[in-house]
Amino acid sequence: MTPRIPRRAYVYGALGGAALALLARSRHRPTSGVYTLPSFATRDRATRTTVDPDGFVRADPRTLASQARSDVETNTMARFIASEFGSGTPLEKAAIAWAIKNKARQRGWSILRMATTVCWKENGQARCADTGLYGKQFMGGAVVGGAARPRANRYAATPKDPTRADLHIATMVLSGAWPDPTGGATMFLDPSAFGLQAGTRAGGAEAKIREWEADGHRVVSVPGVRREKLVLLSGIDGATRDRRARRRGDTPRGRM
């Protein structure tokens, strides 16, 4: 069934979309932790979706983008923002979006592919499949690639519908109107979510950060970003990552 979109959402879509485009082409350059969203960037949800028992949003991303009066890349980034840090400040949301954008560029992937690709381990090897669907990050038992995968996961979550404010920030980041405040971060986590989010354990954030640092990443400090809520890490290139994995006797992580 086609989700019901509030009538006023179409008004925000028509007016907001034009304003976003103009803003993206302007010289507006937010650089500090204090940033006020424009009045048209409301908290109204741009779409209405549900998540099935396997953790998938069973709706075509392109259809959802059309309903949001957006393009698929911007709507996908907005879903990342809404799902990963919907309660964050504009700067924190922009920082997450930039980490995703940087990771996508590193992999040579689209933002959509970053959202819809699910990976798992099989016989010690990393396997991935593009499901073409949004969904939860950790999807234990979901059917992917023709079989149930007990520990399937994505780079980040996209089950939540974005607000107009999320779409605005996504537009700013993807257009470059909001410069990268992270200096090239490609990974992030919310320490406060550990123990609450599926696939995590209480107090596990610091161990995960140390694991990533041992793999060559470094914590990035961004003025205005709350360390207790958001930790950003810089990336390393795939060749370096695989060389280090081989030295440890691990299987290189492939494209994940």
**Average pLDDT value for residue range 103-117:** 97
pLDDT of residue 32: 54
Does the pLDDT value for residue 160 go beyond 90? Answer: yes
Does the pLDDT value for residue 250 go beyond 50? Answer: no
Question: What is the rounded CA–CA span in Å between residue 85 and residue 71?
Answer: 21
**Interaxial angle between packed helices 164-175 and 90-107, expressed in degrees from 0 to 180 and rounded to the nearest 10:** 50
Percent of the chain with pLDDT over 90: 45
**Average pLDDT value for residue range 202-220:** 84
- The residue with greater pLDDT, 156 or 11, is 156
In b/e form, how buried is each residue of 137-171, taking b as 16+ CB within 10 angstroms? Answer: bbbbebebbeeebeebbbbbbbbbbbbbbbbbbbb
**Domain spans in the chain, listed from the N-terminal domain onward:** 7-248
Question: What is the rounded CA–CA span in Å between residue 166 and residue 44?
Answer: 10
Does the pLDDT value for residue 154 go beyond 70? Answer: yes
Question: What is the rounded CA–CA span in Å between residue 256 and residue 240?
Answer: 14
3-state SS class at 109: coil
pLDDT of residue 84: 93
pLDDT of residue 178: 96
pLDDT of residue 2: 39
pLDDT of residue 243: 60
Does the pLDDT value for residue 175 go beyond 70? Answer: yes
Ordered alpha helix ranges (H), 145-204: 164-175
